[in-house]
Amino acid sequence: MEDVYRLYKSMKIIHNYINGKLSKPKNSNYIRVFNPSTGKAYAKCPDSSFTDLNNAIASANNAFILWSKKSNEDRSEILLKIAHELHKNREKFALAETIDNGKPLNDSRNIDIERSINNLKFFASAIINNSSESHSLPGNVINYTLRDPLGIVACITPWNYPLHLLTWKISPALMMGNCVIAKPSEVTPMTAYLFSKLCIKAGLPKGVLNIIYGAGNNIGDEIVKHPKIKAISFTGGTKTGKTISKTASSLLKKVSLELGGKNPIIIFDDCNYDEMLNTTVRSSFGNQGQICLCGERIFIQESIYNKFKKDFVKETKKLKIGNPLKSDTNQGAIVSKEHYTKVLAYFDRARESGAKFITGGKSKSVKGTCSKGWFIEPSIIENLDRNSDCYKEEAFGPVTSLHKFKNKEEVIAMANETKYGLSASIWTSDLSTAHQIAKDIEFGIVWVNAWNLRDLRTPFGGMKDSGLGREGGNESMRFFSETKNVCINYD
C-alpha cells in the first residue's frame, strides 16, 4: 500500500468544472492541497475568481431551459448513470478521499463512497416516486400544489465528508430541475474533481452542474451574493453559517444551514451495555471525531459511572492510530495542520480550566511514511467545568468528556445547556424514559439505543445554533423547489 504514495508523487492539478469542461481558473491562482497523513502538499486547486463564477453562472443559465423541462425519468436516468460510474470507480475514489482527507481507507470505502453512491441512487428514485399534493374543499373546489425548479442554486460543502455531502446536496437540487454551482471545501477538493470527470463521462448536459474551487471567504462569499443564485444549501461551521445567513437574508434568498453540534450521549444503567460501549467508541472517535454528529459530551448515570469510565478508556486505548492506508487502522490523520493546531489548543484550554485527560490529550507520533502527518490521540476528559469554553464549544476532533447524572430531570437540563441542538443519543431499555427524554431535549435528531443510524427519507438537521431547515427525502426536494398552489373553482 505504501506504493500508493508514489502514485500521488507528482503534483496533481485540479480544474474547475464549468460548462461541461474542465478549465483552469482565469486568474491562474491556485491553493495548495495537502495529504494530512504525510503533511505534504500533493495537489493544487483553483482559487477561483468572480470571472470563473460568472462563466459558471452563464453556462448554468443556458442549461436551465432544457434541463428544467426534461422529464423526471430522463433526469433520474442521468443521475443513475453517474451512480453507476461511481460504483465502477469506487476503489479509486476511496483512495483519493483517504489521501485528501486523512481518514482510514476502510471508512472511505464503506462510508464515504458507499453513501455517495446511495445518495445519487436515492434521489434518482425519489424524483420518480415523488407525488404532488391536492386538497379539495366542499363544493367543486380543488387545490393542487406545483413544485417548480428555482433556477440556479448553490451547494457549499465542508471537508469532513467531501464527496458524501456534495452528492447529498447536488442530487435533490438536480432532480428538482435546478442547475447547480457547487463549491467544495478548498481543503479537500479531490473527489469532487474526479466526480466532475464522471459527470462528463455519464453525459450530464453541459452547464447543469458546475463545480468551482477557492477560498470560502472569497469565492464562497461571491456565490452567496450573486443575484442569479436563488438558494444556498450550506453545511459547515456555525460562524460561517451565520455570515451566509446574514448576506442571503438581506437578498431574500432561500437558505438551508447544517451547522455544528455539541451532542450529548445519555447513558442509563439499564441499557444494553456492550452495544452501548461499542457504539459510544464510534460516536466519540469515528472519522477522527470530525463528524457533526459525534458525541462530545457523555452523560452517565452515577450507578455505572466508574464501570463505564474504566471500560471506555480500555476500549479507546485499543484503537490503532496511524497510516490510514493500512487495513487495521481505526483512526487516521486530522484533516489539516490548521485544524490539528485548533484541536490541540482546545486541549490546552481544557487543562487550564482544570479538566483532566484520563487518556490521550496530545498529538500522536507515527513512524515511517506518516511521520510528518497530523495525528492526535483519541482523548477522554473528566472534570470538565460545565461553565468552561471547552464544554460549550465544538472541538470537532477525537475528544469527548464524561459527566455523571442522577436522574432524568437532571440529565435533560444538562443535555440542553448548550447553544447547539443537532443530535443526541439515549441509551436505555425503559421505553417511557426514552420517550420522555426524546420529547424534552432540544435536538433535531434523536437516536434511542443507536447513533448515526441513517434513513435518507427522514428529516436531518439541527435546532438553535446547529442550523436552519432540514435536509433528507422530501425536505431536500422541497427546499430546492418553488411552491405554487393553484386553486380551481370548477362549479
Residue 103: CB minimum distance to ligand NDP, A: 13
Q: Which is nearer to ligand NDP, 97 or 258 (CB)?
A: 258
Q: Does 465 bind ligand NDP (CB under 6 A)?
A: no
Residue 258 appears among annotated catalytic residues: yes
Integer Cα distance of 164 and 282 in angstroms: 19
Residue 199 appears among annotated catalytic residues: no
Q: Which is nearer to ligand NDP, 236 or 322 (CB)?
A: 236
Integer Cα distance of 348 and 325 in angstroms: 30
Q: Give the per-residue contact string, 189-218, with ligand NDP (x = CB under 6 A; - = no).
A: --------------------------xxx-
Q: Give the per-residue contact string, 417-446, with ligand NDP (x = CB under 6 A; - = no).
A: -----x------------------------
Residue 446: CB minimum distance to ligand NDP, A: 15
Integer Cα distance of 295 and 18 in angstroms: 39
Residue 80: CB minimum distance to ligand NDP, A: 25
Q: Which is nearer to ligand NDP, 57 or 276 (CB)?
A: 57
Q: Give the per-residue contact string, 233-252, with ligand NDP (x = CB under 6 A; - = no).
A: --xxx--x--xx--------
Among 56, 83, 99, 187, binds ligand NDP (CB under 6 A): 187
The grid coordinates of residue 409 equal 430531570
Q: Does 378 bind ligand NDP (CB under 6 A)?
A: no
Which residue has the CB atom at the shortest distance from ligand NDP?
216
Among 63, 127, 156, 176, binds ligand NDP (CB under 6 A): 156
Q: Which is nearer to ligand NDP, 433 or 476 (CB)?
A: 476
Residue 212: CB minimum distance to ligand NDP, A: 11
Residue 350: CB minimum distance to ligand NDP, A: 18
CB 475 within 8 A of CB 122: no
Among 25, 104, 158, 378, binds ligand NDP (CB under 6 A): 158
Enumerate residues 6+ apart whose C-beta is below 8 A from 10. none
Q: Does 451 bind ligand NDP (CB under 6 A)?
A: no
Q: Does 396 bind ligand NDP (CB under 6 A)?
A: yes
Point out the catalytic residue in the list 85, 97, 258, 377.
Answer: 258
Q: Does 292 bind ligand NDP (CB under 6 A)?
A: yes
Q: Does 459 bind ligand NDP (CB under 6 A)?
A: no
Q: Does 259 bind ligand NDP (CB under 6 A)?
A: yes
Question: How many amino acids of this chain bind ligand NDP (CB under 6 A)?
Answer: 31
Active-site residue set: 258, 292
Q: Which positions lie near ligand NDP, rule CB under 6 A?
A: 156-160, 183, 185-187, 215-217, 220-221, 224, 235-237, 240, 243-244, 258-261, 292, 394, 396, 422, 462, 467
